[in-house]
Amino acid sequence: MSRQAQNPDITLFFLGASRAIRIAWLLEELNLPYQLVSSPRASNGLAPEEFKAQIPTRMGKSPVVTDGDLVVQESAAIAEYLCETYDPQGRLLPKERRARAKVREWMAAAEGTFMIHALAILYARWRLPKPASKYLPEMEKGLAPNVHNALNWLESELADGRRYLVSREGEGEGEAAASGGDDECAGERDGKGRRGVAHDGVSAADILMGFSIDFIFARSLGTEGADWPNVRRWLHGIKQREAYTRAVKKTGYSL
Both 162 and 212 in a single domain? yes
Last residue of a domain, one of 28, 59, 86: 86
Residues in the chain: 255
Residue 254 located in a structural domain: no
**Where does a domain end: 86, 120, 138?**
86
Are 7 and 103 part of one and the same domain? no
**Domain limits at 206?**
97-241
219 and 103 assigned to the same domain: yes
- Same-domain check for residues 28 and 104: no
Whether residue 165 has pLDDT greater than 90: no
More confident residue, 154 or 193: 154
Within-domain flag for 26? yes
Pairing assessment for the beta strands 35-39 and 70-73 based on DSSP bridges: unpaired
Regarding whether 233 and 121 lie in a shared domain, the answer is yes
Same domain, 82 and 123: no
Q: Is the domain of 132 the same as that of 209? A: yes
Q: Residue 112 is part of a domain; what is its CATH number? A: 1.20.1050
pLDDT band at 200 (very low <50, low <70, confident <90, very high): confident
Instruction: Count structural domains, the chain.
Output: 2
**Are 71 and 197 found together in one domain?**
no
Q: How confident is the model at residue 7 (pLDDT cuts 50, 70, 90)?
A: confident
45 assigned to some structural domain: yes
Residue 9 has pLDDT above 90, yes or no: yes
pTM, rounded to two decimals: 0.88
Each residue of 101-115: pLDDT tens digit?
999 999 999 999 999
Dihedral sign for Cα atoms in the order 79, 38, 25, 62: negative
- pLDDT for 253: 98
Give mean pLDDT, residues 137-144. 97
Average pLDDT of every residue of the chain: 89
Are residues 101 and 81 located together in one domain of the fold? no
Decide if pLDDT at 185 tops 50.
no
Q: What distance in Å separates the CA atoms of residue 27 and residue 79, rounded to the nearest whole number?
A: 9
**Model confidence over 59-110: pLDDT tens digits?**
999 999 999 999 999 999 999 999 999 999 999 999 999 999 999 999 999 9
Closest CA to 33 of 73, 82, 94: 82
Which of the listed residues 51, 86, 121 is the one where a domain comes to its end?
A: 86
Assess if residue 249 is contained within a domain.
Answer: no
Are 51 and 115 within one domain?
Answer: no
CB neighbour list of residue 47: distance below 8 Å, 6 or more residues apart:
15, 39, 41, 60, 61, 62
Residues 27 and 72 sit within 8 Å (Cβ to Cβ): no
Q: Are residues 42 and 103 in the same domain?
A: no
Q: Is 197:154 a contact under the CB 8 Å cutoff?
A: yes
Q: In this structure, are 74 and 106 located in the same domain?
A: no
